[in-house]
Structure 1
Amino acid sequence: MNFPTTCPHCGHTVQTEYLDSGIHDLTCPNCQQRWVLFIRKHRFEMLFDLGTRALLMGFAREAVSNFASALERCFEFYLKAALLERAASEHRDLLVVSRELDATWKLLVSQSERQLGAFAAVYFSRQGQAPDFLTPQSLQADFRNRVIHRGYLPREEEVDAYAARLFAIMNRLLEELGDAALQVTVLQEREYAAALDLLPGNVTAVFEEHPGMFRTRREQTNPPQLGSPASVPPTPRSAASSTPSPVLNDAAAFQTALRERGTLVAELFGKRKS
């Protein structure tokens, strides 16, 4: 899906596609100048925003697919953040741990049930309680499977309810993570710093933070240098477990976020259906 960005050399608006890496090597069709755009956003955030955009545009089936993928990637985000938080408390090299995590995750990449099991184990270890939202009923697994695998054409109100349920789960996970979310964010910034270090001196680098449905904690500083520490102090155990879990399937909360932030998502990608 395309999004607009502005050439830093001449101010011309350029349409470009989101790339999985978040790093976009661009050349302006107007002035022919090159620049590299870094999008500060996590994959689950992007997928949920794409689902929101599809919902606002009236593409119900596409919205369900994006929302479902966003939840899976949010589980992966939580797992990595929690394990990196533990590694930081043990004063381990987070780059090494991150590579080990990536290698381990590749063993599960095509096995969604095992991914879910790994997430559940990490969640219980960190929160001290079972992930009560992982039941098929809570995840609306039957609805998802009917839409994605059996060609069911959902009504808009069904997609609204599905999005609200997943939004509540993901928002809960981010609240429970707290500052631990910064562990993954800092690593992303280090990846960007490594890419930035390889750019020729005459190539301009631009960092953008696009509006979205989630507000994941993110450092508002320049990307750290490769030799600097890449860790955030771990969240105290008491703080991680004492915060009461928010109510799931909060349709009102989703609709509020849709009013506040959905408009920004729509403006970024395009207009809402008439």
Structure 2
Amino acid sequence: MLGTLFFSLLLTCACAEDLVVPRLNDTKAVEAFADSAEVVLVGFFEGENSRGYKELLAAAKKVDSVPVAICSVKEVWADYSLSTDTITLFRKADNRQENLVVSELKKLDTDGLVNFIMINEVRYVTEYNQVTAVGLFESQVKTHLVIFANRTSKDFYELKEKLAALAPEFTGKFLFVLINGALKSNSRSLGYFGLKSKDLPRVGIYDGNSDMKWLLPEGDITVERVRDFCQSFLRGELKDVAQAGDKSKD
């Protein structure tokens, strides 16, 4: 409760019709706001008349799953290596700071900002689709812990919740990706691991740096087994293990 009170004292609020947008007045306030959710947006603008200000608020209404705040204190901007009006997305899954420098944008509209948010809305467990794939593969974290499950089964949400609690332990090392095996559009991803929808749920690791992949051996998918699986990769112990879908090494 005291932490919440302290946070509220660090900021004031600006209202855009029915949208209440916090104004962050110092670095501690920005840090607290960035830590308040898995993905947040901060508009570093000189003022309400700055290009992109109104568009950001309009985009925030359309993507209400991502909190938005404004910071107009230039002394704070320097702490984030910013020198001009910038829209910044902070995300915890890979400690990413994604900047949109307003002066460098030929076109800046609400729909474009919505697209920027949706592409970069990578969370501790991100459900894979054509939009989120862009943010996942543009991340500097190239290793994915892949969770295959059919949305129609109870395993889908149970695994998502269970492994969401584990994901923070591997921030900066893995991105946790949930793939709905019931979708035909995801059949290629399953086939890459030698899987079919009837084989799910399963968990695998994909290493984008080496283009190698492995499956957690069949059995109960527990937090302990998945943690050990991830740690085995980090220790380099999976290099000699047969890759998923590689029949020649079975």
- TM bucket, shorter chain: under 0.3
Q: TM-score normalised to the size of structure 2?
A: 0.26
Question: So what's the TM-score if we normalise by structure 1?
Answer: 0.25
Q: Please identify the structure whose Cα radius of gyration is greater.
A: 2
More strand by share: 2
